[in-house]
Each structure stands twice: as structure tokens, then as C-alpha cells.
Structure 1
Amino acid sequence: MDDVDDGTRLGQVLLRLKAALRDAEAERQITKAFGDELIALVPRLRRFARLRTGSEAEADDMVQATLMRAWEHRSQFQAGTNLVGWLFTILRNTHLNQRKRRRREVEDVDGLFAGALSAAPDQEHRIALFELQAALDALPAEQRETLLLVTVDGLRHDEAAEVLGCQVGTVKSRVSRARERLSATLGLA
């Protein structure tokens, strides 16, 4: 950890990781050798990450992600096996996953693409939708169900009557009353 500044994000992660390693060792979750070797491999991981990314900041982020994954999956590591290979595999997979993710991202340095994606304010529409939903919820269940079958699902009155098991006139009456109540509740009458 000789070239990692404690003030950087990676340095802070290493300090927390060291503390967690000490605690895990005290609780016999890991061996001292595992913790020591893990910390000792950080400079090699950083070198490999820099080769893959070409960026010191990206490399440190990759090493940080690698250490976090190694810590999360420490129970999967089998003592006596190759810790170096295990960590470098995690680092390589982390890098490949980041590259896949970046391929789906759109670079927009000047903000032109983001500017084209802007949407008109929709607060009024949301408020109106909430008010409509509240007014629908306030209707008696038969009226609400009948109104939705006819207006939203597009059933004809005779089809709705068949679904509901009632007369066509009952459907027409329920739809009419529901519309009147909605109009009054929403202030449209």
C-alpha cells in the first residue's frame, strides 16, 4: 500500500478493509495470511488495472471494486489456492463488465444529446391524473367497474351487460351516473 494515499477513495477503502480483515481474523473467518496477502497484492492489482484502463483514476476504481468483491466473496476463496489468480480474475471480470456497460452509454461532452432529450413539464398532467384516480376511487364499485369496461376496455353496452350479468339498460344507467359524478367531482359540470 506504499503508493496509495490515505486521503484518496482507494486509500479510505484500504483502511476500512484492513480494519475489517483484523475483525474477521479475530473472529476466525479468515487467516492472517489471507489478509496480509490481500493487502500486499494491491500494488500489483493497480499496475494491472492501469495497463487495462490507461487511467489512474479508473484503475483505482477497478481495484476498489475488486477488493470489495473479494471481501464480499471471501468465503468462496479456498485456503491454499492461488489468491493472486483469484484476485486478478475478479479484476479482469470487473473491467470487462465496465466495458460492456460503457458500450451502452452515450458520450455527450457538449450536452447536445441530453438537451434533445428534455421533456416538457408534466406536473399538471400528473395532478390531473391523481385527481381522476381519486374521483374514480370515490365512485361506487358497480359504477366504476361498468364505466371502465365501456370507456377504457371499449366494450359495447351489450357486451358489458353480458360480462356483468345485468341488463343493457342497467349498464347505460351506471355509465351515465358515473360520468355525472365524475364531472361534478372534477368540476367539469
Structure 2
Amino acid sequence: MATSTTPPQGTRHALPTAVHAGIEAQIPALQRFAKRLTGPGGEVDDLVQETILRALNASNQFQTGTALKSWLFTIMRNAFYTAYNRRKREHVGMGDEWNHKLVMDAPQDWVVLYADLGVAINKLPEASRRSLVMVASGVSYDETARACGCEVGTVKSRVNRARKVLSDQFGAALLT
């Protein structure tokens, strides 16, 4: 014999009304449970409000014989976990390490610096300039030495001296 899951005709609307009345009586217990979930300074009132809203919207799903308090606590726990997981995915603002990276000098400063750097590189001795440009372009020291017709140590010395001259001339402007 199959049993029906719908309540008898006269009790259909009585159950949600009983749930609504029972929820109000459970508010102090919900607040205590919310404090345990959220910890000090947590959003207790928001969690209680979200729980009550969800419970009222699902009051027709409440089954007779189920402990209302346990049902509400389950709703609250699920609401808390949902909000917690959502907050983990959200990135509100940026950390302090990003703030200084977002600030950049005015483009015209870089244009002037780039032009001055080009003039300074052109003033380097031909051998040093060629070695520096090749190494800075990603050519290995060995390949640069073969192209310049000298030893690897000579290329390293030329590049180091050229970097030193440019560093002395431009200082920290090249490091930023």
C-alpha cells in the first residue's frame, strides 16, 4: 500500500504556519549557534536573517516529526558554508603589495629617460656597446664572444664596464 507524501486536505497550510511560529521561538538558539560559527566579530545577525529567510522560503518542505531546531541549524550551517566558500573566491580590493606596482611614472618621463639612455649607450666605446646590446638582447656570452672575435672573459668585462657606466649615469632610474 503506497503512502502519499502530501498532507491531508485540512493540514496543507497548517504546517507552514506552525513552522513560521516555531521559527520565532528558535531565534535565540539561532543567534547562539551563529556566534559559534562566525566567531568574534562575525556577521551573526546577517547569518540568522539568511537562515530565517531560507527556512521561510522552504517551510513547505519541512516534514512533520522532524525537530525544527535541528532543521534550522542545518539550514544555518549550509548558509554559512555557502557564504564562506563564496568569500574565499571573491577578492575584494588588492593587497598592499599590488598598490605600489599600480603606480607608474608619467609616460613622458620614460620617453625622456629612454632617449637619454640611447644617447648614453651611443657614447660607449664601440666594442662595449656591441657586447652590451648583444647580451641585453639575449645572445649568450659565448655567441657574443665569437661574433666580436674575442674571449668570453673579455665580453663579460666589456658588458660589466658598460653597465657600470650606465648605472653611474642613471642610478636608480634604471632599476625601477
* Shared fold (TM-score, shorter chain, > 0.5): no
Q: Please, what TM-score do these two structures have when normalized by structure 2?
A: 0.44
Q: Please, what TM-score do these two structures have when normalized by structure 1?
A: 0.41
Higher relative contact order (CA 8 A, sep 6+): 2
User: Larger C-alpha radius of gyration, 1 or 2?
Assistant: 2
